[in-house]
């Protein structure tokens, strides 16, 4: 219960409260502001203080749980991006190994045709065919390289854009305190 009192009355009530012991005077006089007093039982005051301590200790626990959830989400995003990039690199490596075998076979074919050629025009024709196939393979390799690089860049961009998202205003306020 709160009441408006003059400063002289507040002083008198304070003196009265200080003179009495807690056994005979179960109420505590709380000064709440200029000209105001509030009466509260000691038991109620102790319960209120305990509730305040519990709520203060619950806030860091909630914030820690939220930070842990955010960290878990970011770790999952990182793992997905890493897996996607790794798969792309493995695929590119497989294609590169196949391409090396194809080039080795093309070069072996060139060597056998050059040794079998009997004239300058036949040799020029063999070299022209080999050059056009080689240019075609190089063009295909370049397209594949840019495609693989684009896939890896997209995975990295998704990861970094998810990581850079600002937290919600509610959670930002909790982390600031």
> Quick one: pLDDT band at residue 80, thresholds 50, 70, 90?
confident
- pLDDT for 26-61, tens place per residue? 455 454 555 554 555 555 656 666 676 666 665 677
Mean pLDDT of 78-97: 90
Residue 108: is its pLDDT beyond 50? Answer: yes
Overall size of the chain counted in residues: 177
Which pLDDT does position 46 carry in this prediction? Answer: 63
Mean pLDDT of 52-74: 76
Residue 38's DSSP bridge partners are: 2, 30
**Global confidence as pTM:** 0.51
- Between 63 and 34, the more confident residue is 63
CA gap 129, 140 in Å, rounded: 17
Name the helix (H) or strand (E) containing 113.
helix 42-116
Q: Of 139, 39, 71, which Cα lies nearest the Cα of 99?
A: 139
Domains of the chain: which residue ranges?
A: 70-176
Least confident of 26-30, 52-56, 110-114, 143-147: 26-30
Write down the residue that tokens 């990861």 correspond to: 159
- pLDDT for 149-164, tens place per residue? 998 898 888 878 776 6
Average pLDDT, the chain: 76
């Amino acid at each position: 219960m709160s009441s408006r009192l003059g400063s002289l009355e507040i002083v008198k009530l304070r003196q009265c409260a200080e003179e009495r012991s807690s056994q005979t005077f179960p109420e505590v006089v709380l000064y709440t502001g200029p000209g105001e007093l509030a009466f509260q039982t000691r038991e109620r005051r102790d319960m209120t203080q305990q509730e305040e301590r519990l709520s203060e200790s619950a806030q860091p626990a909630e914030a820690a749980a939220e930070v842990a959830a955010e960290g878990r989400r970011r770790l999952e995003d990182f793992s997905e991006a890493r897996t996607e990039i790794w798969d792309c690199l493995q695929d590119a490596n497989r294609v590169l190994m196949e391409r090396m075998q194809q080039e080795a076979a093309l070069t072996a074919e060139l060597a056998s045709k050059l040794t079998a050629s009997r004239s300058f025009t036949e040799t020029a024709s063999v070299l022209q065919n080999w050059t056009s196939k080689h240019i075609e393979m190089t063009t295909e390799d370049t397209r594949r390289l840019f495609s693989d690089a684009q896939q890896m860049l997209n995975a990295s961009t998704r990861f970094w854009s998810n990581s850079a998202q600002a937290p919600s205003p509610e959670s930002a306020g909790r982390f600031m305190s």
